[in-house]
Chain A
Amino acid sequence: MAAPVRHVVLGATGVWRRLERPWASSLCSRSLTLAALPSRTKSPWRLWGALCLQRPPLISKPLTPLQEEMAALLQQVETEKSLYSDHELRALGEAQQLAKKRADLHEEEDEPGILLVPDLEEMWEQAFLRFRPGARTTEADEKNDRTSLHRKLDRSLVLLVREKLGGQDVWMLPQAEWQPGETLRGTAERTLATLSGNSMEAKFLGNAPCGHYKFKFPQAVRTESNLGAKVFFFKALLLAGDFPQAGEEARHVWVSKEELGDYLSPRYLAQVRRFLLDL
């Protein structure tokens, strides 16, 4: 934990030569490098970039009773205002013919080979029943296996990791210390890469942080130039891939917004809840 003043000055001189090549090659704003000298020489706060990786929901939420009623009403009104379809016309015609036959002849001559409407409908019903859609509640839901991604498919899940901070195991969003020469979003992308080792693909939602958390170091560690740290969170949507299986001692967890309280400390939780949508 070198004093940030010296660290920054050293970094500045060495970083110039490193920066010239990437600056020339990648001029887009997505570049992770900074050309300007960081002038944070007097700030007592250390910077950390954190990653808020969310798995978006795969299925829709179940409808509330009011929504069900309204859906039924809309369907009713739509059928009332519509015209007869070809299938319905055919059904009406056949019903009329049957009625005529029964009234006139009393002989039911069923010509084999002609499919009447009820037979067709039965065939379609059978075909529909043969199809098995995916289950809306998965095994992981029943076992409450929080390390699995296939849990709570109608909510979005956030990744939490367990790290050692000052000797204690603390649950938090994955984070890494900011290094001079990269943007904070670059720090978040570096966290993702170190976590997953390129097995997870994520879409970052913009260059700006979505939230922050400020904390001071405990008295023992605090110095004049090293008061505390500021953590900046960056949102990303998980597109593909999964965390490499850690096995029994998993140090990560995929958790929905309500379950965050089980893991995070109160102040941290309060700040994190601010930028997570409840849906």
Chain B
Amino acid sequence: ALGVWRTQIRDTHQRASLFSFWELLPTRAEPLRKKKKVDPKKDQAVKERLKKRIRKLEKATQELIPIEDFITPAKLLDKARQRPQVELSFEESERRALLLKKWSLYKQQEHERERDAIRALVAAQQEALQELQLESPELYSEAIKRDPGLFPFEKEGPHYTPPVADYQPPEGRYNDITKVYTQVEFKR
């Protein structure tokens, strides 16, 4: 009788916002949906099916880290890159064959010399250890023990020229562009 407008104005001091009048009016045309009990189960079933599919895909394609050395880059398969076949003359091939024979003989002799040298070293050490054992068994047992501080032993080998004193390396930044892969393990 008073009218909807007036009834709304009555309790404006208690409302949260001035627009709460329009919020109260239903503006949607659809009827409200009621939640059924079967829906969560259906949702779960759908999720599980998706997870199974993901697992199957994971099983099939276990992506391994590619070995860069085994993959020839495409630009090296170009025919223009291939050198013309060199035909060796008879003298050249003879020279190569004889040189290889001399080299194999030299390497064999070098190997024998190294082997004999190592044998002599070991024999000298064994004699020294025997003498030590005759002297005192405790010192002998101490000498036989492994030295845990010996390995890992790193040393830079001989180069062609000795290091230059007061060497100033050229200035510049070093951009490391190596690709670092991490293997993804799929756990069951």
Contacts and interface: CB of A to CB of B under 8 A. Distances in A.
Interface of A: 28-30, 34, 36, 38-40, 43, 45, 47, 56-60, 66, 69-70, 73, 80, 82-84, 89, 132-136, 138, 150, 153-154, 183-185, 203-212, 214, 230, 232-233, 237, 271, 274-275, 277-278
Interface stretch (B35-43, B63-71, B129-137): B129-137
Size class of B's contact patch?
35 or more
Given A73-B96, A210-B125, A237-B155, 8 more contacts: A29-B146, A34-B138, A34-B142, A40-B136, A66-B103, A204-B147, A207-B146, A277-B121
Contacts of B139: 34, 38, 47, 183-184
Contact of B106 (A43, A66, A153, A237): A66
B149 A184 contact: no
Contacts of B155: 56, 237
Given A47-B135, A66-B103, A30 B148 contact: yes
Interface of B: 76, 80-83, 86, 96, 99, 102-103, 106, 117, 120-121, 123-125, 127-129, 131-132, 135-139, 142-150, 153, 155, 158-165
A208 B125 contact: yes
Contacts of B128: 208-212, 232-233
A82 B84 CA distance: 11
Nearest to B162: A134
Contacts of A57: 158
A172 to B, nearest CB: 17
A208 B106 contact: no
A84 B83 contact: yes
A127 to B, nearest CB: 10
A55 to B, nearest CB: 12
Given A30-B148, A208-B143, A59 B158 contact: yes
B143 A133 contact: no
A207 B76 CA distance: 54
A28 B153 CA distance: 18
Nearest to B118: A277
A29 to B, nearest CB: 4
B5 to A, nearest CB: 85
B136 A82 contact: no
B35 to A, nearest CB: 69
Given A59-B161, A206-B147, A232-B132, A39 B83 contact: no
A234 B93 CA distance: 51
B101 to A, nearest CB: 11
13 contacts: A30-B149, A39-B138, A40-B136, A43-B136, A59-B159, A83-B83, A185-B143, A204-B147, A207-B142, A207-B143, A211-B128, A274-B123, A275-B125
B86 A154 contact: no
Given A84-B81, A232-B132, A73 B86 contact: no
Nearest to B120: A274
8 closest A-B pairs by CB: A212-B128, A133-B161, A134-B162, A274-B124, A29-B145, A83-B81, A209-B128, A183-B142
